[in-house]
Amino acid sequence: MINRSEKPTHDTLAAPLLLKTREACKKLGGIHPRSLSRMEKAGLLRSVKLLRHKLYAIQDLEALVESLRDWNKEAAR
């Protein structure tokens, strides 16, 4: 149950859970939005629609980076 009398901390307000497409691209090193879309179509990443916005969870972006890191390690062997 949520205790509404507690004020949110600075940490919870400072770090968004979801990023818009442009912000997600910056978080991934400045890739092009079309590249992000291709990754989504390939099943490497999921987006969430909220109102009229397509959003990406930071947790999913971090998981994508980790999986790519693992894939690169395997390819180098």
Domains delineated in the chain: 18-76 (1.10.1660)
Q: CB within 8 A of 48, min separation 6: which ones?
A: 18, 54, 55, 56, 57
Helix, coil or strand: residue 43: coil
Q: Model confidence over 28-61: pLDDT tens digits?
A: 999 999 999 999 999 999 999 999 999 999 999 9
Neighbours of 70 (CB within 10 A): 10
Q: Model confidence over 1-17: pLDDT tens digits?
A: 556 566 655 555 677 89
Do residues 28 and 16 make contact, with C-beta atoms less than 8 angstroms apart? no
Do residues 54 and 40 make contact, with C-beta atoms less than 8 angstroms apart? no
- Residue that is written with structure tokens 């400072």 in the block: 14
Distance of CA 22 to the CA centre of its chain: 11
